[in-house]
Structure 1
Amino acid sequence: MQLSHNDENNFSLTRFESMLKTNDVLFFDSNEFENIINYYLENGKIALAKKAIKLGLAQHPSSTNLKLFKVEILVFEDKLDLADGLLNELQDLESSNEEIYIQKAQIFSKRDEHLKAIQMLEMALENTLDEAEVYSLIGMEYLFLEDFENAKYSFMQCLEADEEDYSALYNIMYCFDFLDQKEDAIDYLNMYLDKNPYCEVAWHQVGKQYFDLKDYQKALSAFDFAIISDDNFIGAYLEKGKVLEKLGRYNEAIENYKITLELDDPTSFAYLRIGKSFEKLGLDELALKHYKQCVHEDPLLDKGWIAITDFHIRTKNFQKALYYINKAISIDEENVLYWKRYAKINNRLKFYEEAEIGYKKSLELGNYELETWIKRCDILTDLGEFEIAVNNLNQALEFHPDSAELEFRLAGLYFNLNEGDKAYYHLNNGLKIDAEYYIIIEELFPQIFQRKSVKEIINSFINLS
């Protein structure tokens, strides 16, 4: 509860804090203590809340609500056994107090006993006047259990009890999405909209479902209704812009994105999408301007740096592309998408040692695509680093065990290292997987390809003219 300067509760707060400073003992009724404690908890002032609870219980030792605040603090501090003991005492005195069961559920939840937590919350339901809150808590417990059907049902019950609880509506949509029930989600939202036709959140969610189904005209209509319901709804303008992009209506998309810039502080996402739309229209200078605004607004948004870099790659300005990807890496050197582009650009510029570093870093960061292993191998081969190239390919085989491209490269490298047995082994493996890829030996290791023994083995799988 927020206390305003004109609120009589603020007078209690001022008196209480004055008492703490002077060590005077002043009397407060239990409701005053509850308001003071609630204020401190909502503002994250746990130490002051604990002082207020202690003083409150000293003056009102039989107050159940003050004891429940004490339980809340004990649960927050993970003193679960103490909290449980106090709750058992309170339950004996007030078995119909919903908060007792809610706090017991909190304890079970913290102990990962979510089914028991749900049982406690169902008991709370029998005694509560606020069913929406309890159904919401039950829904969260089912989410912890990854029981999305029951979670969805609980949040639906919550929304039925409080039709304006949009957090419940979002949670329902989360469950529908996880269960991949898009058509069911649309049916549910339409049913909700029959009762609440001007709910911008529901129209927005309908639009997102149609967008995922690639029914862009219906998505567009839904976002229009969301905007009619609330013409300051930034999310609806952003989503409408995305739909217009999909429909190739880039000028209209730009208009919608620009509206969001006027309604609130600019977002990097809006600048990015405006840039993408200008690029589609062939207005490169405007595209680049907005990409730069995007990374200025949020230097940590990797899509912005990637958009600038890819723009310069597309226009074959590789030096500028390298400049921007280096800036991106200096901000986030753990981003694999940056290192992949760093490697690609350096490769195009014939900076092979730097390119190899980029591919190596991409692999270290978990990019195990076949192409990454192969690109690094070919650069190491060109640099004469045959042993490192072999180690690279042997690691690659762990992720791509049936790749003829890897097997033929290993064969050629082992021949170069004069390890004939291993070379013939991998040559035969490659031919068994896909003989047509023998051309790798011919192109990358032409001297090896000219060996009579190699040609004979290849000829046993495929007829060379």
Structure 2
Amino acid sequence: MQHRGETAPRYQKQSRMKRKLTHLPEEEPEDLIRRYEAFLSQKTEAGYFDVYEMEQIVDYYLRWGRTRESSVALEFGFRLHPGSPVLLVQRAKIFLASGQAQKALQLLESSVIRFEYDVLLLKINVLSALERHSEARALAEELLADQSLETDTTCLDLAYLYLSNYDIENAMYFLQLGEKANPKNTDILFELAFCYDTREDNEASIAIYEKILKIDPYSAETWFNLGQVYFLIPDYTKAIMAYEYALVIRPDDSLTYLQKAHSHFQLQQYREAIDDYEVYASMVPDTWQIWLFIGECYERLEQFAEAIQYYSKSLKMHSDNYEALTGIAICLMEQDKFDDSIAFSRRAIEINPDAADGWVYLAEGLVGLDRPEEALQAYIKSIRLDPNQPETYMAIANICMDKGEYNLALEYYRQALALNDESDLQNIHLFMAVAYYKTGRREEAFFALDKAMEESLDALKVFREICPESDF
């Protein structure tokens, strides 16, 4: 089957995963929000919220991107505290969040608002949004020159500001300044590592995480993040070691078990992967995708009955589960149960007719039943959906060879070679040598056979068995 050359699970997403954070957003004022929303639901202004409570309420809605609710809260706050400078600052935040940076700046520059630390940070943010970067940087430098402030904390706040605007370069500038001021500030180090992760500078990221571990060797988040970087390099053995340290510290972390299982899969350590996937499945409510992972592990171990069992568990949870249907189809095909395999492939195609691999699995089942014409149509449908399939071009060529259509077979073999290094296409030069010989192109047949003999010592013997009349 074509999937045999893969090393990654068919269903595993390969992407840069988000880090875990050791610093979390400040605790949400849940009781305050509940009390405020209860007043609103009663359509009354009964009760009292002081100005700082109203500030928290507006900030809460802004953090969750609920600009309309933050505006309602602000107007309610002004009815309780008319002209409050604190709430004027909140109005500037709302202006900024709603894309009205110029209005935010005008408000911040009014004589009513005092230039305190948080207000200066907000003004830097507004200036950056207006692309007045030199003014923003100058104001940031003013903050750093203030001897009453802790340099590393100020640098971290400035970095957060730039990170919120996806300005990695400026964020790194202030983080590096902060690290110089206090090399043991792990919040700064985490943010630096995040910046290096974003830039895909894995070596620098590893160095930062190792610094954090020297400061706090019992940080499960750091071990997990280090494992993530090794996973991406990829160095799966080191990734597993890092995940294992994380699990010693925090044995109830489901995501670490999942990533450890993925790493074992990549190393073709399928039984170890199954063990970790099973632990993960016991810790989370939604398991249908994990059954897919375990099914594929058993498939790779050629334990097809067990693989079908897990694919079926996933299918039971999601009846329109394309991946489970194709997994079952493959396992049935491996057991030469071609009729049953075709039935599952057709169900998968009904769910996702634009998935090229489903048509390939259908074609392979039809080949197994010696129905080459139907198989050929399924293969052709597949390459129309995804032309980048050298193995499928080769499968089409092989059918053409069986039909005696040697020139057409050569056309498909050449397309396969154009898409992939010939070392990945077993016996392609041998088959091409046969096709050239059958079409009377002896010189080209000789050169193709010469290449085939470089790849396999048996190539000449097989060629003579297929073409006994040749004098090669």
Q: TM-score, normalised by structure 2?
A: 0.65
Offset from partner CA, 1:227-266 (integer Å, 9 cap, x none): 1100101123233334555677654443333222222325
Offset from partner CA, 1:59-113 (integer Å, 9 cap, x none): 54543442333333334433444445444547986375234235415624xxxx5
Name the structure where helix makes up a greater proportion of residues: 1
Cα–Cα, structure 1 residues 383 and 116, in superposed 2: closer, same or farther, change >3 Å?
farther
Q: Could you tell me how far apart the structure 2 residues matched to 1:68 and 1:197 are? A: 41
Matching residue's letter, 2:51: S
Q: Could you tell me how far apart the structure 2 residues matched to 1:299 and 1:165 are? A: 47
Cα–Cα, structure 1 residues 202 and 217, in superposed 2: closer, same or farther, change >3 Å?
same
How far off its partner does 1:218 sit? 4.5
The corresponding residue for 1:163 is: 186
The corresponding residue for 2:280 is: 260
For 1:267-306, list aligned pairs within 5 A. Answer: 267-279=287-299, 283-297=303-317, 304-306=324-326
The corresponding residue for 1:30 is: 51
Q: Does the aligned pair in 2 maintain the 1:275–1:291 contact within 8 Å?
A: yes
Is structure 2 residue 162 aligned with structure 1 residue 138? yes
Matching residue's letter, 1:34: E
How far off its partner does 1:369 sit? 3.3
Q: Could you tell me how far apart the structure 2 residues matched to 1:244 and 1:333 are? A: 32
How far off its partner does 1:13 sit? 4.6
Matching residue's letter, 1:188: I
How far off its partner does 1:193 sit? 0.9
How far off its partner does 1:189 sit? 2.2
| SS, match of residue 265 in structure 1 | coil
How far off its partner does 1:343 sit? 3.8
Cα–Cα, structure 1 residues 460 and 94, in superposed 2: closer, same or farther, change >3 Å?
closer
Q: Does the aligned pair in 2 maintain the 1:238–1:256 contact within 8 Å?
A: yes
Among all aligned residue pairs of Structure 1 and Structure 2, give the percentage whose two residues are the same amino acid: 20
Cα–Cα, structure 1 residues 136 and 353, in superposed 2: closer, same or farther, change >3 Å?
farther
| SS, match of residue 78 in structure 1 | coil
Is structure 2 residue 435 aligned with structure 1 residue 440? yes
Q: Could you tell me how far apart the structure 2 residues matched to 1:295 and 1:155 are? A: 52
Offset from partner CA, 1:334-386 (integer Å, 9 cap, x none): 33333443344344445556545544443444442344445557768999999
For 1:358-373, list aligned pairs within 5 A. Answer: 358-373=378-393
Q: Could you tell me how far apart the structure 1 residues matched to 2:420 and 2:296 are? A: 39
The corresponding residue for 2:91 is: 70
Matching residue's letter, 1:234: S
Q: Which of 241, 264, 275 pairs up with 1:221?
A: 241
Unaligned runs of 5+ in 2: 1-26, 423-428, 451-469
For 1:119-198, list aligned pairs within 5 A. Answer: 119=137, 122=140, 126=144, 131-139=155-163, 141=165, 163=186, 168=191, 171-172=194-195, 174-175=197-198, 178-181=200-203, 184-198=204-218
Offset from partner CA, 1:40-63 (integer Å, 9 cap, x none): 445555433222223434554543
Query: How many equivalent residue pairs?
Result: 412
Is structure 2 residue 56 aligned with structure 1 residue 56? no
Higher relative contact order (CA 8 A, sep 6+): 2
Matching residue's letter, 1:440: A
Matching residue's letter, 2:72: K
Q: Does the aligned pair in 1 maintain the 2:274–2:294 contact within 8 Å?
A: yes
The corresponding residue for 2:222 is: 202
Cα–Cα, structure 1 residues 251 and 216, in superposed 2: closer, same or farther, change >3 Å?
same
Q: Does the aligned pair in 2 maintain the 1:114–1:142 contact within 8 Å?
A: no
Cα–Cα, structure 1 residues 107 and 173, in superposed 2: closer, same or farther, change >3 Å?
closer
Q: Could you tell me how far apart the structure 2 residues matched to 1:355 and 1:269 are? A: 30
Q: Does the aligned pair in 1 maintain the 2:342–2:366 contact within 8 Å?
A: yes
The corresponding residue for 1:104 is: 126
Unaligned runs of 5+ in 1: 404-433
Is structure 2 residue 351 aligned with structure 1 residue 331? yes
The corresponding residue for 2:454 is: none
Q: How large is the Cα RMSD of the aligned pairs? A: 5.2
Q: Which of 70, 74, 94 pairs up with 2:115?
A: 94
